[in-house]
Amino acid sequence: MHHVYLALAIAAEVTATTALKSCMGFTRLGPSCVAIAGYVLAFFFLSLVMEKLPVGVIYAIWSGAGIALITAAAWFFYGQRLDFPALLGIGLILAGVVVLNVFSQSAPH
């Protein structure tokens, strides 16, 4: 079940961060509510995962996946483009998450 909670935490955080750009300093009610609710849900689900798995491993997966997904959301919703070095850096972050999950005995299996 911890995989599901981690996926929900990542999805909630990506949703919240994506909405945060539209908040305009929390002056727009709809996006502000989405951002706040998303962060609350993200930390709730993250806390459930942390009951069973190592904090460092969970945070590495959560933040690495979040970076890649938020970048994709920014491209899709806001038209933000990245140059090759930025894409390479994100690729290296994703490679680290994959190595952690596939080869580490500390990662959730």
With a cut of 70, say whether residue 107 has pLDDT above it: no
Residue 50: burial class (beta carbons within 10 Å; 0-12, 13-18, 19+): middle
pTM of the model: 0.85
Domain coordinates in residue numbering, the chain? 2-103
CB atoms closer than 10 angstroms to residue 12: 20
pLDDT (tens digit, 9 = 90+) per residue, 20-67?
999 999 999 999 999 999 999 999 999 999 988 888 888 888 888 999
pLDDT (tens digit, 9 = 90+) per residue, 74-103?
999 999 999 999 999 999 988 988 888 788
